[in-house]
Amino acid sequence: MHISMKKNILLVIALLLALSSCKLAPKYVRPDYSLDSTAIRFAVNSDTATIADLRWRELFQDSVLLTLIDEGLKNNMIIRNMSH
């Protein structure tokens, strides 16, 4: 046999194996979830306050850290270039 014919046969076999492997997985069945009243009650939280609502100066109380943040903001080249 010629080398090209062997390659074609191997290619066909590989393609058939690849296509047949798709049939090996079981069919997906979506699970049935039912929520009771307590789960729904806790899913909706009436308190909307988060840490994202705080200013960073309120969040960090350490004076050394605040000084370092101020110095970093003052020397930040990106912020400095944006203000000019």
State pLDDT tens for residues 34-65: 766 665 555 555 666 778 888 888 888 899 99
69-84 exposure pattern, b = at least 16 Cβ within 10 A, e = fewer: eeeeeeeeeeeeeeee
Q: Evaluate whether 73 touches 65 at the Cβ level (below 8 Å).
A: no
d(CA 22, CA 11): 17
d(CA 28, CA 33): 15
Is 15's pLDDT higher than 60? yes
What is residue 14's predicted lDDT score, i.e. its pLDDT? 92
The H helix count followed by the E strand count for the chain is: 5, 0
37 compared with 29, residue with greater pLDDT: 29
